[in-house]
Amino acid sequence: MTSKQEFIEKLRNSSLRPTKQRINICEVLFNRDKTFHFTINDLFNLIKDKTGEKVSLATVYNTVHAFHRKGYLKEIPINSNQTYFDTNVTDHHHFFDVKEEKLIDLKNEDVGPIEIQKSIPGKKIKSVEVLVKLED
């Protein structure tokens, strides 16, 4: 259970003023027990459903991107027509149920450490992500 004060802190850290709309976005994003995988469209609809107030799509996009830049949200590489985000910003891997179009977290122990034996001169590793696609 996350408090409104924490939302305000996250917003301030992201150089965003705590407005009613942004607090509502935070409510849907961060007031949860488990990790939340979503598209902008998912989020947009959940805000209406959960708070009863509509936030414009532009504000949802802008706020999500600010949180992403700040590291409060993670972008999950999936080939889909929509971009997927994740409230679990730790390094972790995913199942992607292709039929349901749903992401499921994999614990690191379910995959094990991944040692990359190759390197590219002048480049360093930023992230290592495993995506396991599921079918019926």
Instruction: List contacts with a copy of itself (CB under 8 A).
Output: 75-79, 83, 95, 97-98, 104, 106-107, 109-112, 114-118, 120, 122-136
41 scored as a contact of DNA (CB under 7 A): yes
What's the rounded Cα separation, in Å, for the pair 126 and 118?
14
Choose between 17 and 126: whose C-beta lies nearer to a copy of itself. 126
With a CB cutoff of 8 Å and minimum separation 6, the contacts of 93 are: 105, 106, 108, 110, 111, 129, 130, 131, 132
Among residues 46, 65, 89, 104, which is the contact residue for DNA, using CB under 7 A? 65
Q: By C-alpha distance, which of 63, 27, 17 is closest to 48?
A: 27
Among residues 51, 62, 88, 108, which is the contact residue for DNA, using CB under 7 A? 62
Among residues 38, 66, 84, 86, which is the contact residue for Zn ion, using CB under 5 A? 86
Among residues 88, 106, 108, 130, which is the contact residue for Zn ion, using CB under 5 A? 88
| Binding span for Mn ion by CB under 5 A among 10-18, 23-31, 65-73, 114-122 | 65-73
Give ∠ CA 27-82-87 in degrees, rounded to 5.
Answer: 35
Alpha helices (runs of H) in 14-79, residue ranges in sequence order: 20-30, 40-51, 57-70
81 scored as a contact of DNA (CB under 7 A): yes
> Does residue 89 contact residue 127 with C-beta atoms inside 8 Å?
no
What's the rounded Cα separation, in Å, for the pair 1 and 91?
23
70 scored as a contact of Mn ion (CB under 5 A): no
Which residues of the chain form contacts with DNA (CB under 7 A)?
15-22, 39-41, 54-59, 61-63, 65, 81-83
